[in-house]
């Protein structure tokens, strides 16, 4: 039923649980997995070469975070794609889902933020609100 799965991953415990679900589902469905990590927008007021340096640093850090999830999946026999891009995170996740024609987005209910009172974080809230494909939110 699901052939192109996106895992939105920020390295949080919640997203690690989401990764486990995405992995199990992908193995069962023989689906392609795309791990997406978005870093916060870099102010364009900052001039070059600082802008490029910051982009490189954020991209390298993102590759490390998403790479950890990718490694686990490879160990389980999957061959996930990794996409690290500039946010805002919800917009980036939605954009990738649109461009890649994904049919499922898997994500955690909460992430790295610490507004514990809320049941849903702002990223999962916005993705749920605007996605054009099914979204699986892992508690
Ligand atoms: P907030 O960010 O609003 O303070 P939070 O951090 O607790 O709250 P979210 O950021 O909405 O909650 O995280 C929910 C899920 O969204 C995460 O488990 C993860 O799957 C996904 N997510 C959050 N941030 C990112 C990101 N930067 N890149 C990719 N996925 C993300
Ligand atoms: Mg967050």
Cβ atoms < 10 Å from Cβ of 126:
17
Closest to 14 measured CA to CA, from 137, 126, 131, 118: 137
pLDDT band at 47 (very low <50, low <70, confident <90, very high): confident
Pocket test for ligand 1, best of 6, 8, 16 (most atoms within 8 A of CB): 8
Cis amide leading into 126 (omega within 30): no
For atom 24 of ligand 1, the residue with the nearest CA is: 10
**pTM (2 d.p.):** 0.96
**Tens digits of per-residue pLDDT, 93-119?**
999 999 999 999 999 999 999 877 778
**Domains defined for the chain, CATH in brackets:** 4-133 (3.40.50.620)
| Residue 121 beta carbon below 6 angstroms from any ligand 1 atom | yes
The Cα diameter of the chain in Å comes to 48
């Amino acid at each position: 039923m699901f052939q192109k799965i996106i895992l939105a991953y920020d390295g949080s415990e919640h997203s690690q649980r989401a990764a486990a679900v995405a992995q199990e589902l992908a193995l069962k469905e023989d689906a392609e997995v795309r791990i997406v990590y978005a870093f916060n927008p870099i102010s364009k007021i900052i001039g070059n070469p600082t802008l490029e340096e910051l982009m490189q640093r954020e991209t390298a850090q993102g590759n490390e975070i998403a790479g950890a999830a990718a490694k686990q999946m490879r160990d389980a026999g999957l061959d996930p794609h990794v996409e690290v891009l500039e946010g805002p995170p919800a917009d980036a996740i939605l954009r990738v889902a649109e461009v890649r024609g994904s049919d499922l987005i898997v994500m955690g209910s909460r992430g790295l933020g610490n507004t514990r009172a809320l049941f849903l974080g702002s990223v999962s809230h916005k993705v749920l609100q605007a996605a054009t494909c099914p979204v699986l939110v892992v508690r």
